[in-house]
Protein backbone atom coordinates (compact mmCIF):
# COMPACT_ATOMS: atom_id res chain seq x y z
CA UNK A 1 0.00 0.00 0.00
CA UNK A 2 2.80 2.41 0.89
CA UNK A 3 4.54 1.73 -2.41
CA UNK A 4 1.32 2.25 -4.40
CA UNK A 5 0.50 5.48 -2.59
CA UNK A 6 4.07 6.69 -3.10
CA UNK A 7 3.89 6.01 -6.82
CA UNK A 8 0.62 7.92 -6.99
CA UNK A 9 2.24 10.94 -5.36
CA UNK A 10 5.25 10.76 -7.66
CA UNK A 11 2.92 10.77 -10.66
CA UNK A 12 1.64 14.16 -9.53
CA UNK A 13 5.18 15.55 -9.56
CA UNK A 14 6.03 14.75 -13.20
CA UNK A 15 7.22 18.03 -14.77
CA UNK A 16 4.86 19.81 -17.14
CA UNK A 17 5.49 18.72 -20.70
CA UNK A 18 6.86 15.29 -19.78
CA UNK A 19 5.14 12.40 -21.56
CA UNK A 20 2.78 10.68 -19.10
CA UNK A 21 3.85 7.18 -18.14
CA UNK A 22 0.61 5.31 -18.71
CA UNK A 23 1.64 1.83 -19.73
CA UNK A 24 0.22 -1.32 -18.19
CA UNK A 25 1.60 -1.65 -14.67
CA UNK A 26 2.05 -4.76 -12.52
CA UNK A 27 1.19 -5.24 -8.88
CA UNK A 28 3.42 -3.10 -6.67
CA UNK A 29 4.44 -6.18 -4.70
CA UNK A 30 5.28 -8.23 -7.78
CA UNK A 31 2.60 -10.74 -6.77
CA UNK A 32 -0.55 -11.64 -8.65
CA UNK A 33 -2.96 -8.74 -9.03
CA UNK A 34 -5.64 -10.88 -7.41
CA UNK A 35 -4.75 -11.56 -3.78
CA UNK A 36 -6.46 -12.17 -0.47
CA UNK A 37 -9.41 -9.84 0.18
CA UNK A 38 -8.71 -7.19 2.80
CA UNK A 39 -11.86 -5.06 3.01
CA UNK A 40 -15.32 -4.43 1.56
CA UNK A 41 -16.28 -5.20 -2.06
CA UNK A 42 -17.27 -2.47 -4.50
CA UNK A 43 -20.64 -0.75 -4.11
CA UNK A 44 -22.52 -0.96 -7.41
CA UNK A 45 -25.62 0.75 -6.05
CA UNK A 46 -27.89 -1.81 -7.66
CA UNK A 47 -26.60 -1.06 -11.18
CA UNK A 48 -26.56 -4.24 -13.30
CA UNK A 49 -23.07 -5.01 -14.59
CA UNK A 50 -21.36 -8.02 -16.11
CA UNK A 51 -19.85 -10.62 -13.80
CA UNK A 52 -16.38 -9.61 -15.01
CA UNK A 53 -16.90 -5.95 -14.11
CA UNK A 54 -18.09 -6.95 -10.64
CA UNK A 55 -15.11 -9.24 -10.08
CA UNK A 56 -12.56 -6.61 -11.11
CA UNK A 57 -14.25 -3.84 -9.11
CA UNK A 58 -14.54 -6.09 -6.04
CA UNK A 59 -10.90 -7.08 -6.30
CA UNK A 60 -9.72 -3.47 -6.59
CA UNK A 61 -11.87 -2.51 -3.60
CA UNK A 62 -10.94 -5.40 -1.32
CA UNK A 63 -7.21 -5.24 -1.99
CA UNK A 64 -7.12 -1.44 -2.29
CA UNK A 65 -5.21 -1.78 -5.56
CA UNK A 66 -6.68 1.60 -6.53
CA UNK A 67 -4.74 3.17 -3.61
CA UNK A 68 -7.83 4.84 -2.14
CA UNK A 69 -8.34 6.89 -5.29
CA UNK A 70 -11.09 6.81 -7.94
CA UNK A 71 -10.72 4.22 -10.70
CA UNK A 72 -12.23 3.31 -14.06
CA UNK A 73 -13.33 -0.05 -15.50
CA UNK A 74 -13.85 -0.46 -19.26
CA UNK A 75 -15.87 -3.50 -20.32
CA UNK A 76 -15.02 -3.99 -23.99
CA UNK A 77 -17.52 -6.81 -24.47
CA UNK A 78 -20.34 -4.51 -23.35
CA UNK A 79 -18.76 -1.31 -24.77
CA UNK A 80 -19.30 0.46 -21.44
CA UNK A 81 -17.18 2.48 -19.05
CA UNK A 82 -17.68 2.65 -15.26
CA UNK A 83 -16.29 5.31 -12.90
CA UNK A 84 -15.80 4.48 -9.21
CA UNK A 85 -14.93 6.90 -6.42
CA UNK A 86 -12.14 6.47 -3.89
CA UNK A 87 -14.38 4.28 -1.73
CA UNK A 88 -15.09 1.98 -4.72
CA UNK A 89 -18.67 3.23 -5.07
CA UNK A 90 -19.98 3.36 -8.63
CA UNK A 91 -20.54 6.99 -9.58
CA UNK A 92 -21.46 6.91 -13.26
CA UNK A 93 -21.34 4.75 -16.37
CA UNK A 94 -21.73 5.27 -20.08
CA UNK A 95 -21.57 3.63 -23.47
CA UNK A 96 -18.24 4.13 -25.25
CA UNK A 97 -16.74 3.53 -28.67
CA UNK A 98 -13.70 1.25 -28.83
CA UNK A 99 -11.25 -0.24 -31.33
CA UNK A 100 -12.90 -1.64 -34.44
CA UNK A 101 -10.77 -4.81 -34.33
CA UNK A 102 -11.23 -7.54 -31.76
CA UNK A 103 -8.07 -8.21 -29.78
CA UNK A 104 -6.39 -7.66 -26.44
CA UNK A 105 -2.90 -6.51 -27.43
CA UNK A 106 -1.48 -3.52 -29.27
CA UNK A 107 0.74 -4.20 -32.28
CA UNK A 108 4.38 -3.39 -31.39
CA UNK A 109 5.27 0.09 -32.61
CA UNK A 110 1.64 1.07 -33.25
CA UNK A 111 2.13 4.36 -31.43
CA UNK A 112 4.67 5.53 -34.00
CA UNK A 113 2.47 4.78 -37.00
CA UNK A 114 0.55 7.45 -38.87
CA UNK A 115 -3.22 6.98 -38.62
CA UNK A 116 -3.42 6.31 -42.36
CA UNK A 117 -0.93 3.43 -41.98
CA UNK A 118 -2.80 1.57 -39.24
CA UNK A 119 -4.29 -1.59 -40.76
CA UNK A 120 -7.88 -2.60 -39.92
CA UNK A 121 -6.74 -5.63 -37.92
CA UNK A 122 -4.40 -3.44 -35.85
CA UNK A 123 -7.17 -1.19 -34.50
CA UNK A 124 -7.46 -2.88 -31.11
CA UNK A 125 -8.07 -1.49 -27.65
CA UNK A 126 -5.52 -3.27 -25.42
CA UNK A 127 -6.66 -5.04 -22.27
CA UNK A 128 -4.88 -4.70 -18.94
CA UNK A 129 -4.34 -2.56 -15.86
CA UNK A 130 -3.10 0.90 -16.81
CA UNK A 131 -1.92 3.94 -14.91
CA UNK A 132 -4.13 6.58 -16.53
CA UNK A 133 -2.96 10.18 -16.58
CA UNK A 134 -4.28 13.43 -17.99
CA UNK A 135 -2.30 14.82 -20.90
CA UNK A 136 -2.76 16.22 -24.38
CA UNK A 137 -2.59 14.85 -27.91
CA UNK A 138 -0.81 16.33 -30.92
CA UNK A 139 -3.63 18.81 -31.53
CA UNK A 140 -3.56 20.07 -27.94
CA UNK A 141 -6.81 18.39 -26.91
CA UNK A 142 -6.87 17.16 -23.31
CA UNK A 143 -7.09 13.37 -23.14
CA UNK A 144 -6.60 10.68 -20.52
CA UNK A 145 -3.70 8.50 -21.62
CA UNK A 146 -4.32 4.79 -21.17
CA UNK A 147 -1.20 3.52 -22.94
CA UNK A 148 0.96 6.45 -24.04
CA UNK A 149 3.46 4.37 -26.05
CA UNK A 150 0.66 2.73 -28.02
CA UNK A 151 -1.11 6.11 -28.47
CA UNK A 152 -4.27 4.79 -26.78
CA UNK A 153 -6.29 7.30 -24.79
CA UNK A 154 -9.77 8.06 -23.47
CA UNK A 155 -11.09 11.22 -25.12
CA UNK A 156 -14.29 12.99 -26.08
CA UNK A 157 -16.03 11.47 -29.06
CA UNK A 158 -15.20 13.34 -32.29
CA UNK A 159 -18.03 13.60 -34.78
CA UNK A 160 -16.00 15.21 -37.55
CA UNK A 161 -16.90 12.53 -40.12
CA UNK A 162 -20.71 12.35 -40.49
CA UNK A 163 -20.46 9.06 -42.39
CA UNK A 164 -19.02 7.38 -39.28
CA UNK A 165 -22.16 8.22 -37.26
CA UNK A 166 -20.25 8.14 -34.00
CA UNK A 167 -22.87 9.95 -31.94
CA UNK A 168 -25.59 7.66 -33.28
CA UNK A 169 -23.45 4.62 -32.50
CA UNK A 170 -23.10 5.79 -28.90
CA UNK A 171 -26.84 6.29 -28.59
CA UNK A 172 -27.87 2.95 -30.09
CA UNK A 173 -28.76 -0.01 -27.89
CA UNK A 174 -26.58 -2.43 -29.86
CA UNK A 175 -22.96 -3.19 -28.98
CA UNK A 176 -21.57 -4.23 -32.35
CA UNK A 177 -21.72 -0.72 -33.83
CA UNK A 178 -19.66 0.67 -30.92
CA UNK A 179 -16.52 -0.70 -32.56
CA UNK A 180 -15.32 2.11 -34.80
CA UNK A 181 -12.14 3.68 -33.36
CA UNK A 182 -8.47 3.06 -34.11
CA UNK A 183 -8.05 1.80 -30.54
CA UNK A 184 -8.87 4.82 -28.39
CA UNK A 185 -11.85 4.85 -26.04
CA UNK A 186 -14.34 7.48 -27.24
CA UNK A 187 -16.47 8.94 -24.45
CA UNK A 188 -19.50 11.25 -24.70
CA UNK A 189 -18.19 14.81 -24.30
CA UNK A 190 -20.47 15.74 -21.40
CA UNK A 191 -19.54 12.54 -19.53
CA UNK A 192 -15.82 13.14 -20.12
CA UNK A 193 -16.05 16.66 -18.70
CA UNK A 194 -18.26 15.72 -15.75
CA UNK A 195 -16.73 12.43 -14.62
CA UNK A 196 -13.26 11.85 -16.09
CA UNK A 197 -11.67 15.29 -16.03
CA UNK A 198 -12.28 15.79 -12.28
CA UNK A 199 -10.66 12.42 -11.52
CA UNK A 200 -7.57 12.67 -13.70
CA UNK A 201 -7.00 16.40 -13.20
CA UNK A 202 -6.23 15.61 -9.57
CA UNK A 203 -4.03 12.52 -9.93
CA UNK A 204 -3.06 9.49 -11.95
CA UNK A 205 -5.54 6.67 -11.41
CA UNK A 206 -6.01 3.02 -12.30
CA UNK A 207 -7.86 2.03 -15.48
CA UNK A 208 -8.87 -1.61 -15.87
CA UNK A 209 -9.63 -2.56 -19.49
CA UNK A 210 -11.31 -5.97 -19.66
CA UNK A 211 -10.41 -8.33 -22.52
CA UNK A 212 -12.26 -9.41 -25.65
CA UNK A 213 -10.93 -12.96 -25.95
CA UNK A 214 -8.53 -13.64 -23.08
CA UNK A 215 -9.72 -14.68 -19.64
CA UNK A 216 -9.34 -12.42 -16.62
CA UNK A 217 -6.70 -14.84 -15.35
CA UNK A 218 -4.64 -14.43 -18.52
CA UNK A 219 -4.77 -10.65 -18.34
CA UNK A 220 -4.72 -9.89 -14.62
CA UNK A 221 -3.47 -13.01 -12.86
CA UNK A 222 -5.13 -15.35 -10.36
CA UNK A 223 -8.83 -14.52 -9.99
CA UNK A 224 -10.52 -15.12 -6.62
pLDDT in tens, 81-111: 999 999 999 999 999 999 999 999 999 999 9
pLDDT in tens, 48-79: 999 999 999 999 999 888 999 999 999 999 99
Q: How confident is the model at residue 146 (pLDDT cuts 50, 70, 90)?
A: very high
Q: Out of 160-164, 207-211, 216-220, pick the least confident.
A: 160-164
pLDDT in tens, 22-54: 444 344 334 445 444 457 899 999 999 999 999
| Chain mean pLDDT for the chain | 84
pTM of the predicted protein model: 0.83
Choose among 38, 53, 55: nearest CA to 4: 38
pLDDT of residue 8 exceeding 80:
no
Amino acid sequence: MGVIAGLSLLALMVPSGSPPQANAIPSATGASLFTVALSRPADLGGTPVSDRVKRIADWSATTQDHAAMPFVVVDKQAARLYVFDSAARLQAHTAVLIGSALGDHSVPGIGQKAIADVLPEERTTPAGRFNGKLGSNLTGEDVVWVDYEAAVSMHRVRAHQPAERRLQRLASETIEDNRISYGCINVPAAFFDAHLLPVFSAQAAAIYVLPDHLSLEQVFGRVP
